[in-house]
Structure 1
């Protein structure tokens, strides 16, 4: 089953969204282009829309696959297992269904944790790994996400995600726009994710997903000790220097899991560097896929602290 896309901003037609059944539930995904496959994995409260701006930049030479994880977007939100391993297994089943043998994995935030779990479980299916502001490299995470794991969150979330609250926040934003304020890509993506919690099924899936990887003290799942066996997987790590969701200092920890990883820091970007600086992200990704290395001039330097950004030394 497919949906008919309407023209988007600038007259660009969004890619076709398809629907298939996996494990008895509907899974929504984009599948565009031909060539070596790239599998994009969005983060918590995200969807395929976090990546679709890259499709027309890549699908003339790559097969681009972008699913909505179960519990997100247009995919089903069943009661069940929302662990990293469960998500990784679903993605493996999806590429099996599509007849894809090996992929370059690109994972953002929670999607990065899923991508690393995929590498651990199915290393023979991975060509390259790209981690964007990924989870799984440290304990620290935004207090906002930690609060979703507290007792009683099930009672509070319907109130703060209600249409009454959302309409008033949007009204404030509309008034602010009269004075020249515009939400950046980081804030817009976060707000779009928050508005997806308007129904009970989405809220239940959000809480289950969050509690599978976070507790009141921070992240509970670590990539340490989960190196894939066999030959090292070429790995690129991308992070925004102003990430307030997962500190940029975690970027340095990628070398503890993938010793030969290349780290590229995006100056001034927040938790969504691929949305805030799409042209640069596309260029970095393209170069990495072509060569397995970072692009010329991008050096793994700048050593921010573990929990806070350091804007004095950075890449690029």
Structure 2
């Protein structure tokens, strides 16, 4: 798709290959550790790498019914040049799954803020995949002073369309169906579903692996309930209820990288292209013949693109006054556009 618009090289910044070569003093993968912390009485687990790399802080946010494990293919590559933290969001992975948990987009963003502050991390480049992209955008809106850059990887929240499977999960009775399926075949359902989906031509292996992990996670009552609560906060049968495109202008001064696959069957590529059109200063990377998990399907390329973006852009230091100016400017533009009758 060479016709797709892409951001040109930044004046005064060395080409990508030279910058990556200059940084690559070691080719050995960085070690990855699993850690945990207690916040508000709830356990939060996260993967960490590159703490002593001397590089900038990067936070990786997974999507629905996923976990920090989705980032394992890229974490050792990123950790050579950045301090990377990949949390299990509340209700996911090995983090707590409270029945009374707040699984709204705003609560996830606030939880990420609390984690960063507890880890004494002042600012970060925030990377969000799928639903995690919606959380990342919400975090940038709510806490601009903590956000240096934003990366949206096959991101949700950029348009209404979404796969029929996710829309179905928002319907009444979805939790009972998932529970019944696992009651009947608790150990074999993920494998059976994976083999069934293999019969559909063109479905990437990475998508199949992630599907199997998601289905396996539903055997846990807490994970299943958290998934349903989260889905219903963001989706209905018509599609995504939460649309971040109306506030994209607030990110105009923030370095933004958009990543998507041409063969994504969960969230259309068109959503990412439309976001790039709205923010032409953003950088766009389209992975050919790639599904919904570019970071899993092409970890080396994803790590290279992400590191090039992080080291090739200057972090933005925003605050409430910065957001206020943008809001006032947008309100003024809207007022002048109104034509008296």
Smaller-chain TM-score range?
A: 0.7 to 0.9
Say whether residues 1:20 and 2:37 are aligned partners.
Answer: yes
- Please report how far the alpha carbon of residue 229 of structure 1 lies from its aligned counterpart in structure 2 after TM superposition: 4.9
| Residue among 27, 30, 33 paired with 2:50 | 33
Aligned match of 2:62: 42
Aligned match of 2:155: 134
Normalising by structure 1, we get a TM-score of 0.81
In structure 2, what is the Cα distance between the partners aligned to 1:122 and 1:75? 23
Aligned match of 2:109: 88
SS at match of 1:130: strand
In structure 2, what is the Cα distance between the partners aligned to 1:150 and 1:20? 34
| Residue among 57, 78, 82 paired with 1:58 | 78
Residue segments in structure 2 that go unaligned for 5+ positions in a row: 1-28, 315-341
In structure 1, what is the Cα distance between the partners aligned to 2:174 and 2:163? 16
Residue segments in structure 1 that go unaligned for 5+ positions in a row: 1-11, 294-316
- Please report how far the alpha carbon of residue 267 of structure 1 lies from its aligned counterpart in structure 2 after TM superposition: 0.3
Which is higher, the Rg of structure 1 or of structure 2?
Answer: 2
Higher relative contact order (CA 8 A, sep 6+): 2
- Please report how far the alpha carbon of residue 30 of structure 1 lies from its aligned counterpart in structure 2 after TM superposition: 1.7
- Please report how far the alpha carbon of residue 185 of structure 1 lies from its aligned counterpart in structure 2 after TM superposition: 1.3
- Please report how far the alpha carbon of residue 138 of structure 1 lies from its aligned counterpart in structure 2 after TM superposition: 0.4
Aligned match of 1:3: none
In structure 2, what is the Cα distance between the partners aligned to 1:216 and 1:156? 16
- Please report how far the alpha carbon of residue 85 of structure 1 lies from its aligned counterpart in structure 2 after TM superposition: 0.7
Q: Give the length in aligned residue pairs.
A: 278
| Residue among 307, 320, 333 paired with 1:286 | 307
In structure 2, what is the Cα distance between the partners aligned to 1:264 and 1:171? 34
Q: How does 1:1-316 map to 2 (within 5 A)?
A: 15-34=32-51, 35-78=55-98, 79-162=100-183, 164=185, 166-167=187-188, 170=191, 184-227=205-248, 229=250, 232-255=253-276, 258-292=279-313
- Please report how far the alpha carbon of residue 55 of structure 1 lies from its aligned counterpart in structure 2 after TM superposition: 1.9
